[in-house]
């Protein structure tokens, strides 16, 4: 198994751009240590089926593949924009796990098969969604096994007072089909109450917290 730093070293050596090593890796320090700690505390089954929405440059893919888990990566970006096919192939060969990539918009697609995943991860994605996020959260919920869990992370609005998103709250973002999709930007921000309200529309149990050394909110959601 790789440590987070070892996974980051591998990604830095195989990333398609120097941007990861020069910039993005430093950004990950704000949320990946807490994400790894939270996942490690879950006591996941051996070779769990994990869904990651918005895999970024693939750091968590490498980290989880090294622990023997199978992963489905979902992003509206084409494969190769950040994570590359050669990286995923190398991970699968090195750890004998299955790593697949699906290019879809999580808000307006129903993924198949339903009820397949032990864990879903969604970090720093919700503020950038082009459509209202409750559709995405509902899809994530439905993809989990009955005892499955989800970990969601967003930047905490009070930590970024100078960011002025297009919409103040998630429920003000248009539903799918009600408006033209917005360009890649910060569409909305979240505080703890907004995030909890959103997640509790789909999940039976939701715990929201912010680590002392982070500007990010985290939520652990349990389907049943």
What confidence tens digit (pLDDT) does each residue in 74-108 have?
998 999 999 999 999 999 889 999 999 999 888 76
Q: How confident is the model at residue 118 (pLDDT cuts 50, 70, 90)?
A: very high
Q: How confident is the model at residue 70 (pLDDT cuts 50, 70, 90)?
A: very high
Q: Measure the CA–CA gap between 39 and 47, rounded to whole angstroms.
A: 14
- Can you read off the two tokens belonging to residue 151? 């970990």
Q: What are phi and psi of 128, to 5 degrees?
A: -100, 0
3-state DSSP assignment of residue 149: strand
Q: How confident is the model at residue 175 (pLDDT cuts 50, 70, 90)?
A: confident
What DSSP element (H or E) covers 145?
A: strand 144-155
115 vs 143, higher pLDDT: 143
- Residue written as token pair 């389907």: 223
Chain mean position to CA 182: 20
β-strands 117-123, 49-53 pairing: parallel
Q: pTM of the prediction? A: 0.94
Q: Which domains are assigned to the chain?
A: 4-222 (3.40.50.150)
- Can you read off the two tokens belonging to residue 111? 């993924």
CB atoms near residue 199 (< 10 Å): 24
3-state DSSP assignment of residue 29: coil
Q: What are phi and psi of 163, to 5 degrees?
A: -80, 125
């Amino acid at each position: 198994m790789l440590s987070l730093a070892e996974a980051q070293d591998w990604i830095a050596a195989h990333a398609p751009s120097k941007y990861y090593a020069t910039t993005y890796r430093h950004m990950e320090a704000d949320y990946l240590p807490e994400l790894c700690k939270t996942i490690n505390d879950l006591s996941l089954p051996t070779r769990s089926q994990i869904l990651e929405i918005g895999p970024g440059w693939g750091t968590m893919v490498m980290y989880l593949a090294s622990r023997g888990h199978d992963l489905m990566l979902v992003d509206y970006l084409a494969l190769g924009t950040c994570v590359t096919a050669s990286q995923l192939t190398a991970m699968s060969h090195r750890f004998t796990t299955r790593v697949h990539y699906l290019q879809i918009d999580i808000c307006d697609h129903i993924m198949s098969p339903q009820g397949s995943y032990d864990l879903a991860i969604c970090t720093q994605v919700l503020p950038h969604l082009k459509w209202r996020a409750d559709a995405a959260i509902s899809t994530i919920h439905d993809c989990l096994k009955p005892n499955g869990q989800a970990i969601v992370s967003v930047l905490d609005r009070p930590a970024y007072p100078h960011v002025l998103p297009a919409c103040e709250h998630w429920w003000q973002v248009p539903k799918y089909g009600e408006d033209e999709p917005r360009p890649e930007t910060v569409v909305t921000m979240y505080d703890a109450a907004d995030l909890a309200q959103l997640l509790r529309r789909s999940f039976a149990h939701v715990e929201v917290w912010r680590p002392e050394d982070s500007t990010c909110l985290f939520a652990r959601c349990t389907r049943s």
